[in-house]
Every structure is written in C-alpha cells, then in structure tokens.
Structure 1
Amino acid sequence: MNFLKIAYISYYDFSLDTAATEHIIQTVEGLSRLGHKIWLFAPSFGRREFSANIQAVLVPRSNVLLFDSAVVRALRKSEVEFDIVYLRDYMGASRAVKYAVENNFPLVIEHNGLMYAETPLVSSMAQKILLWLDDRSRLKRRLLKADINIVVTEEIGKFFVKKFGIAREKLVHIPNGVDIARFKPCDDKTALRKKLGLNPPDAFWLGYIGSMYPWHILDVVISAFEQIAKRRNDVRLFIGGRGQELEKITALINRSDFKNYIYLKSPLPIEESDLYISSMDVNIALMSPSVAPYCWQVKVNHSGACGVPSVITYDKQFKKLFDAGVAVPAKELSPVGVAKTFEELLDRKKLNEMSVKMRSFVEKNLSWEKIVEEVEKVIKSAIRRKKIG
C-alpha cells in the first residue's frame, strides 16, 4: 500500500499546548514521517507549523455544531479523494460522519476520553443539553458508522459495548504516547531543583503538573500532603499548571498551616514541563473514581519516561503500568489513604530502582513511534474492511 491521503478532523485549538493537541500533533507528524499525506481540519492553528506532508485547513467556527457543518464544506472544497477520514471525536459530530459514509470513505473515530464522565463536573446548562442530545442518538450512530473506533482505555470500549451494544470487533485500544527524546530521567535532581528554584533541593518532592479540573481532586492531594507534613519536614509539594480549580487551590494553599512547604506555579510554561516533571520524586495523577477508568493520562507517560512514578487512582486495567512501576495505585482516596501511598514511596533506593525499570517499559511500549505504528495499522485495517464490504 502506497502513501495514504488522510483527512484528520479535530475540534481543538492548535494555538494552545494541551495534552489533546500534543496527542494529535504527535500522531499526524508520525504518520507524516511514515510517508502519508494529512489534511488537518481544525478551528484554529495560531502560529503552529507542521511538516511538509501536513496541510493545515482552517475551519474557523467557535461553536461545535457550526464546526461540524463547516468542516464538511471544507472537505468538499478540498476536492481530495481521501483514502480515509480520521475523526477525533467531539460532542455532536454528525455531518462529518455522514460525509464520510456518503462518499464511501473508510472512517476511524478516536475516543480519547469519555465526555459522559467529565462533562457533568464542569458543564454549563448548554453543554448538558448538548450531551443529552448526543446521548440520545448521535454518539451511538457514529460509533456504528465508524469502521473502527479507537479507545484510549479499555473501559471506554466496555462502556460503549454495554450502553450502545457496539460490537467488540469495532473497538481497538491504543493508549496515549510520549516523546521519549524530550522526556527523560534527570542525572542530577539536586542541581535541576536549584535551577528551578525548588528549595530545599534535597527534600522529597511530590508534584502535580497539569490542568486543574474538579476530577483531579487536588483538595485531597493538599490534605494528604498536610498529613505527611505533620510528621516530617523533609517533604515538599509542587503544584504547577492552571485551570478551572486554580482559584480554589490557591485559597486552600494560603489557608494551610504548611503553605511554606507548598510551591504553586501558575502558569507553568509547557516548554518547561519536562524539567519540572524530571525534578520530582513522585508524580501525582489522581482522579475521581468516576473519571479515572476513562483516561490514559499523558502526564503519567511523561513521568514514566522521566523515571518518576505516578500515583494514580486504582483501576485493574492499568495493571501493566503498576507492574512496571510507571504507576502506583491509590486504592483509598481519603487524605489519610493518599498520604500513606505517598509515604510508601519516600525511599531513595526504592525510587532509583523503579526509575530504571519504568523507563525501559515506556521506551518499549509507549513511545509515540510505537503508538503511531499502531494507529497506522488501524487505518489500514479500516481501509481493508471497507473494500471487503
């Protein structure tokens, strides 16, 4: 099979650096390196630049429903006979799916999270209405019309099977990846901490680095840290990022008896995130139990590549991450339970041994090169299925 012409549709703003845009950029750039030609349809690119094989097609619409209509007009205007349409799922996606089906283009839809778990925690009434409409008919329809649905966790696939009766052969699990050249272990954490202004540099540092939403339960993280700080003074907490919960988290820190032991950095420049992650002893990636099964957090991959273990909410589907030391399960999400999980990791020898093992696992299983190869296999499989009919 020669190079493919891929229409990649995404309702994300590429002028922003987020876990979602990182995933998409790494995927399309990886497919480009494999020789394929990609037309990336999105509402904004800012000053983002792509490789020669990637054509950015601007679809400037602020509303997701308007985008769904506008992207079809852009697809028709391109006059390209695509080999496949690849859709990063978005709420209300309908017309783009219909376009692929009517033109007999193979269709792959990627589900990198479950909006049903996240939306009720942050949504406006308008978003809740959209979710209700999507639930009533649209999501099931596009799941059925896709030749293959990629799911980032196995639990998303199980949800689709149970709720919508989707055939298992229509579902393929591919996790998120990581840039292993950029995210790597630090040879001298003490020197790096001095450079970043993390004092004392010889303390044990627990770190949360990422977006701040309700499901990240950072209030529990702060309370757990306070439990530890009551017993020992050689542990510090770093929180870096921004988001909906920033004001609440700032207030909690300011009221804490141990606020001098907590370092808040907001915003944290995305280009510096690898430095802060590799400077930590333990990464924090807890989530509400209602959301955790449906997220393969990019920050966990980043930390694993840096040789830093992540404490995550327990779910049995992540057993391989637990076995490799990439993730450590927190089964009890009370402040006392989380504090106990943190403290069990505060051993230099143990952390060093875990670092080597997890880096090896990430290189073998979670590099973007490996992930993109799996995506390419799915794309080719979808094309074959369409031809067979």
Structure 2
Amino acid sequence: MTSGPNQVVAADQKYRDGSRINLLEVLGNAIVGGMENYVGNLIGKLPKDEFAVTVLCPFESAYTRALRQKGCAVYIAPLRDDPPWRSIEMIAGLVESHHIDIIHAHLMNAHTVAALAGLLTNTPMVATLHGMSLQPQEISVARLTGTEMILVCREAWSQALAVGMPPEKLTFIPNGVDLERYRPGCAPRSLLRKAIAVSEEDFLIGFVGRLAWEKGPDKFIKAADTILRQLPHVHFVLVGTGTQEKEIARAIERAGIGTNVHLAGLWDDPAQVYPALDLMLHTSRADAMPLALLEAMACGVPVIAIGVGGVPEIVETGETGILIGTSEWPGIVSEFPGDWEGVARAAIKLISQPERLKAMAEASARRAAALYDITTSAALTAQLFRRLTDNAGTPRIRSLREKKVARSL
C-alpha cells in the first residue's frame, strides 16, 4: 500500500457521509494503453456528486501519478492470474476502510482477485472484458463467483452467451471517446509534424498504439515498405512504445525506409497526434473495440483496418474507411483482401483520391459523434452500478463486521 496514513484517514472521512457510491477500480496493468485510457475516461465522466473512486494497480507509473492528479486514492498490490492472499486482503481492507459499494475490474488478473475479494466481502463485482474473446479462466471465475460482465464488442458478448453465461449477467457497452477533446481540428496540424520533421504538405499515414505483437506494428512497416515502392513521397509515423520498439526500428533500417518512416514515441496527449494524420492504418492481430480507432474517427481521420474482433463494428467500410479481410476473417467482403498486403493496396488507391478521403474524414467524425460518445458509455456503466447497489442508487456503507452480523441474523 503506497498511500500513507493521512491519505487513508482523509479518504475514510470523505466516504463516511454515504452520499456517494464508493467505487473501487482494480486494474491489471498501469501502462498508458487502451484499458487504462478507458478507465481514465470513465472516471472523468462518472458524476462526481454520485461516485467516489478508489483505484488499485499492480505498480507505480506515470499512469498512477495521473490518477492521483485526478483526485483518486491509488493503492498498489501484486495482481497475478494466480493471486497471492495478501492482494485479496488488500482489496478486503479497502472495502472496509473506504466503505466500497462496488468493485470494477479490468483484465483477467484483476478480475480473478477482485472476484474472490468481492465474494468474501459480499460486495458486488463487475468485470469489463476489453478483449475480443473470453479466456477460459475468465469464464470460470465469472461462473464460480457470479461476476457481472461488461463486454465492449459483440464478438465477446456472443461468445459469453454461447458458453452459457447467464444473459442477465452480461451488459454490452461499447467504448467511447471524449468528443470535447477528440474532434476535427482539436490540435494544430503542424504539432506532430514539426516533431518528426514532416512538412504540412506531405501526405502522412499513422499508426497509433502499443508497439507489441498483437497490435501489428510489424505489419504496418511491411505495408509502408510496399506503399513507398509506388509512392516514395509518402511519410509514415508510429506513435507509441512497447516491447517491439527496437525490433521495429531494426525493421525500418533493414528496409531502408528510415527517411520516410518515423518513430514518434509515446505522446502524453493523443489528441495532439490525430489532426496531423491524413490516413491511419490499423493493423492489429487482435482487438475488441480499440480506442485509437475511435479517437481517430472522432478527429476526422479515415482508417484502413484489418477486420479483427470488434473492428468491423466500428468502420463503416467504404464510408468512413476500408476494412481488409484476411483468411481468418473471410466474412469481410473487400476488394483488397490479404492482410497487410490488402492494407497497402487500399492505401495506394485512397491516396490518389483526395475527394474521397475528404468525404471519409467528414463521415468518420459524424459516425463517432453519433455512436461513440464517452458520455453515453459512462452513463450506461453508471446505470449498471446503480442497479447493483440495491437497485436504488444508494450506497451501502456498512462495515465488513456489520455485514457479517446481518448475514448471521
């Protein structure tokens, strides 16, 4: 526990008045990624007069520092798929000291420990599944502990039904973005371009996300190499960091495309990135409802995306961008099949159609505004939290001892 005694006392006094629902967010990671952005967006949009938020993370990071700056009490404990008892004790202690009414977990390691602690303390538990499919352990934990689950894409939702999860325990809530922050023209077009020495006249194609295998940055480099063979004036930028960063740098060097392909690193504010892009390529191997896609659309950036997971639910193919079918996803009808090869061919064609790109940019912003507003997603999540706290929106502020006494009567 990294928060000191004064913080604990202050938080305890703050939550004793019972005027708010006390929410414990348990995060299985603490990097700057899609799940973490989801939680940050949710915390920012939950009504502050109705919800008080405490957070448990597996380690300290820039992300935990940002959460504290938002006013959250943040604690640290080891979170593993096979959780240590002391982590269960930590959550139980937070439930009592902060009068927690509901626990909300993210990623399988967090889901496992939070579900066990919730069961032991008689506290409602919700797990948001950010992936496009359910892992066996997630299914087992949910069944054994009665976890409520939020699914962010229809593929995961339908799988949960198919494996026999009770429909009343499943809630489908798509991801959303802050439309006040992500919108066309939300930052100068020149901001990112100056950082990577690309002029405002150059055509710039972007990749935004973790540089990790599942996100497919290697596929982006292969597509960039193919595009440059026909259109040597185009520039590319990868925004993000991750385990494959050195490997990606070596791939750029081997291909001899370093003059046109730029590694921009991690940007604290992604809203400063998208206005610089003329086109975004989304080359993930696995994704549910990626925030990077939603953020790009909200900023009016057309997208060419490999149609995995929930991506076909986001991109209106031919209108806001182009979907690429692969052998693993044969149901997508596309004139550009073939994984990253199809991405490259689609980009080459779109670059030669500036009017179509402009129309796609406008359609992207309209679709994001209509369907992916974080205000709506947060409202639906808050509605679920209210229902689980005794269907009355009233927090339960009994201590663990009082709960045990009540159960014995």
CA shift for structure 1 position 22: 1.6
For residue 271 of structure 2, the aligned residue among 256, 269, 274 is: 274
1:98 aligns with 2:116: yes
For residue 298 of structure 2, the aligned residue among 305, 308, 323 is: 305
For residue 57 of structure 2, the aligned residue among 42, 46, 65 is: 42
CA distance in 2, matches of 1:191, 1:10: 35
Equivalent in the alignment of 2:344: 339
Query: Retained in 1: the 8 A contact 2:80–2:109?
Result: no
CA shift for structure 1 position 24: 0.9
Equivalent in the alignment of 1:373: 379
Q: How many residues align?
A: 359
CA offset digits 1:89-114 (Å, max 9, x no partner) = 43374453233234433221111125
Name the SS for the 2:87 alignment partner.
helix
Equivalent in the alignment of 1:4: 21
For residue 351 of structure 1, the aligned residue among 354, 357, 360 is: 357
CA offset digits 1:48-102 (Å, max 9, x no partner) = 35478x6414133375645664243343353444332222243374453233234
* C-alpha RMSD over aligned residues: 3.2
CA distance in 2, matches of 1:255, 1:224: 14
Equivalent in the alignment of 2:104: 86
Seen in structure 2, the aligned counterparts of structure 1 residues 64 and 314 have a Cα distance that, compared at 3 Å, is closer
Equivalent in the alignment of 2:14: none
Seen in structure 2, the aligned counterparts of structure 1 residues 318 and 385 have a Cα distance that, compared at 3 Å, is farther
Query: Retained in 2: the 8 A contact 1:11–1:64?
Result: no
Seen in structure 2, the aligned counterparts of structure 1 residues 98 and 196 have a Cα distance that, compared at 3 Å, is closer
Equivalent in the alignment of 2:407: none
Seen in structure 2, the aligned counterparts of structure 1 residues 67 and 57 have a Cα distance that, compared at 3 Å, is farther
Equivalent in the alignment of 1:131: none
CA shift for structure 1 position 152: 1.6
CA shift for structure 1 position 251: 1.2
CA offset digits 1:166-187 (Å, max 9, x no partner) = 1233222222221222222238
CA shift for structure 1 position 308: 0.3
Q: Which residue type is aligned with residue 99 of structure 1?
A: A
1:173-252 superposed matches below 5 A: 173-186=172-185, 191-192=190-191, 195-252=194-251
Seen in structure 2, the aligned counterparts of structure 1 residues 306 and 147 have a Cα distance that, compared at 3 Å, is same
Seen in structure 2, the aligned counterparts of structure 1 residues 104 and 47 have a Cα distance that, compared at 3 Å, is closer
CA shift for structure 1 position 386: 11
CA shift for structure 1 position 277: 1.9
For residue 330 of structure 1, the aligned residue among 304, 317, 324 is: 324
Seen in structure 2, the aligned counterparts of structure 1 residues 224 and 34 have a Cα distance that, compared at 3 Å, is same
Query: Retained in 2: the 8 A contact 1:306–1:359?
Result: yes
Quote the sequence identity (%): 16
CA shift for structure 1 position 375: 0.7
Equivalent in the alignment of 1:256: 255
CA distance in 2, matches of 1:309, 1:176: 19
Query: Retained in 1: the 8 A contact 2:132–2:309?
Result: no
CA shift for structure 1 position 318: 4.4
Q: Which residue type is aligned with residue 269 of structure 1?
A: W
CA distance in 1, matches of 2:339, 2:166: 38
CA distance in 2, matches of 1:4, 1:380: 8
CA distance in 2, matches of 1:240, 1:344: 24
Equivalent in the alignment of 1:151: 151
TM value normalised by structure 2: 0.76
Name the SS for the 2:105 alignment partner.
strand
CA shift for structure 1 position 326: 4.4
CA distance in 1, matches of 2:268, 2:338: 28
Identify, as 1 or 2, the structure richer in helix. 1
Q: Which runs of 5+ in 2 are unaligned?
A: 1-17, 326-336, 394-409
Seen in structure 2, the aligned counterparts of structure 1 residues 344 and 321 have a Cα distance that, compared at 3 Å, is farther
Equivalent in the alignment of 1:56: 73
Name the SS for the 1:172 alignment partner.
strand
CA offset digits 1:279-334 (Å, max 9, x no partner) = 0111121112xx24xx2111101101110022221258545533384452112244
CA offset digits 1:21-42 (Å, max 9, x no partner) = 2211221232243521222223
Query: Retained in 2: the 8 A contact 1:109–1:146?
Result: no
Q: Which residue type is aligned with residue 339 of structure 1?
A: A
Seen in structure 2, the aligned counterparts of structure 1 residues 193 and 218 have a Cα distance that, compared at 3 Å, is closer
Seen in structure 2, the aligned counterparts of structure 1 residues 67 and 42 have a Cα distance that, compared at 3 Å, is farther
Seen in structure 2, the aligned counterparts of structure 1 residues 5 and 178 have a Cα distance that, compared at 3 Å, is same
CA shift for structure 1 position 115: 7.7
CA offset digits 1:120-141 (Å, max 9, x no partner) = xxxxxxxxxxxxxx83x66423
Seen in structure 2, the aligned counterparts of structure 1 residues 208 and 299 have a Cα distance that, compared at 3 Å, is same
Equivalent in the alignment of 2:6: none
For residue 286 of structure 1, the aligned residue among 283, 286, 292 is: 283
CA distance in 2, matches of 1:63, 1:80: 23
TM value normalised by structure 1: 0.80
Q: Which runs of 5+ in 1 are unaligned?
A: 117-133
CA distance in 1, matches of 2:279, 2:251: 21
Query: Retained in 2: the 8 A contact 1:144–1:166?
Result: no
